Chain A
């Protein structure tokens, strides 16, 4: 039987490869200078969904939320063979914490079910490297009212509406069986993500979401009249649509979201303070082997949060 998988993916700053160019003079990180990448574990979630389709048939829908430039990760998914890509972008969703994000994504997943048919799997990467929270998957599952299986190492069997999954439990593993639909978070040892297919790259490198087209026309025709620009936007959108290269773009109204539960107003957690860690070693300090010396050292480690 064919299975419909929805995969949630995210574009993140590459926090793992901080180069000298991304450092400010004071030794702290300049976030804007970090390259944006496909969140690594989301590639494993995507691979899991593509494998289900290959082994058992069905379709794969990929969903991302972010600014229009995050459409790059959707193109990466098209290069790897997804059937459908959806971009959720809306300024009112900015500053959403995990609770608000999972609310918005769950609304989008419900909308996907309404428009394209019920889903059997929701696959997410275990966590995103910009926050490392691992919360959005389980929170989406709760909001969708489906079971969750976290830390998937291997999808062992799929038979009708029953799936058997091996999951990592830290100091070992367990095999669990559950009924579809289910939300699964995937860890990086689960599979080897496939590279982009060259033929699909040629085909989809021109795929765009609407806001990317708007941005490109505004930059490219800065001297022209607003009327001309609007006409060009409409022309390009119609052309992309004809060639099936227009990626679906939704806003919060399209997914029926309660605006109060999105963005800042829907986010209980707020960042109160950010302290950058200076990456260079702070040099050598000699501490006298006395009670006072040791006490001061421990106090120093508590103040800089090395010790709790």
Chain B
């Protein structure tokens, strides 16, 4: 553990592969920015790899103040020990108060090893993070501005809020696609600090023999939020709105058979009996009538919003929220509302 340090930065692990930043790293930059502003501290990003210095600018444009850059030929491919060594040294040297990772295969492999080495608390797979003063019910002592780490647990049947009572750093992995990615601001400035970490052969216990990775395709199964469009969207041009809403909410794009048959989008996005069956936390059905074949593929979603101008459309029968209106008019309102939710207040909630 490192000493409690109120000026400690909020850090993001800038996960990259082959010189391409993972989207979740950029989503975390925006979240880290919000948290850091509430704490009155800076945002740092740890960027490790080989010839990756060009990525620093993108991190800064997404809200980072300081990029800690470690480049080494031995860091060309991810492996747990070498990357953990970089993070452990950086954490010990700079004492951040919060360190966030994407809950990817890499993040969930790397973060616990780092947390163990610095003896920090670690919460997996968070879906929300907030800053709040917390009174320990046991000691009655109030701890200022702790990180609330909110995650589903127990097979998704409960939502648990985890805190570390002044035990630094507070570490968490955050589910992909949950935090909205901020718009890129190329005018933002920040600094890049080169940090040399010695990576020896002993830090490389694994030898990579072969690797086969599919390009990232539609990940409907793993998506926490899905925005799906139907035939009622009307045209391929209008279907762009579905992508825009998915982008604003941090979700994946789905479609009904009518939309696929209409040529609005590829078949790999089809949800339903002949497509993919999904059960995300939130499913937004836009101009989808909700034939039984479609409902079979999505009705187990935790929450369903139906946007359809026909009040009698069967999609309303499985929805938790129904908006009776033209999707092409309602979606822009929804995108606007999502974009404009105030950064500081958006996490306030009655407790």
Contact = CB atoms under 8 A, between A and B. Distances in A.
Contacts of A31: 154
B158 A133 contact: no
B134 interface: yes
B93 interface: no
B154 A130 contact: yes
Highest count of chain B CB atoms <10 Å: which of A31, A137, A138, A273: A138
A164 interface: yes
Interface of B: 1, 31, 79-81, 84, 104-106, 108-109, 111-113, 115-117, 119-125, 127-129, 134, 136, 148-150, 152-165, 167, 178-180, 205-217, 225, 249-250, 281-282, 302-303, 305, 307, 316-317, 319-326, 329-330, 333-334, 336-338, 341, 346-347, 349-350
Contacts of B124: 131-135
Interface in A285-305: 285-291, 293-295, 297-299, 301-303, 305
A185 B347 CA distance: 36
A150 B134 CA distance: 35
Interface in A117-132: 129-132
A254 B79 CA distance: 35
A173 B212 CA distance: 5
Given A171-B216, A270-B136, 4 more contacts: A142-B113, A291-B337, A301-B282, A305-B159
Nearest to B316: A284
29 contacts: A97-B121, A130-B155, A139-B115, A142-B112, A142-B113, A143-B116, A150-B109, A170-B105, A171-B213, A174-B208, A174-B211, A268-B121, A268-B164, A269-B162, A270-B165, A274-B159, A275-B159, A277-B159, A282-B320, A287-B321, A287-B322, A294-B334, A298-B334, A305-B150, A305-B159, A308-B127, A308-B129, A308-B179, A308-B250
Contacts of A294: 323, 330, 333-334, 337
Contacts of B208: 174-176
B333 to A, nearest CB: 5
B206 A176 contact: yes
A302 to B, nearest CB: 6
Task: Give the interface residue-count category, chain A.
Answer: 35 or more
A285 B128 contact: no
B134 A272 contact: yes
Nearest to B149: A269
Contact of A151 (B105, B115, B212, B215): B105
B121 to A, nearest CB: 3
Contacts of A303: 349-350
A98 B108 CA distance: 13
A132 B158 contact: no
A302 B346 contact: yes
B125 A133 contact: yes
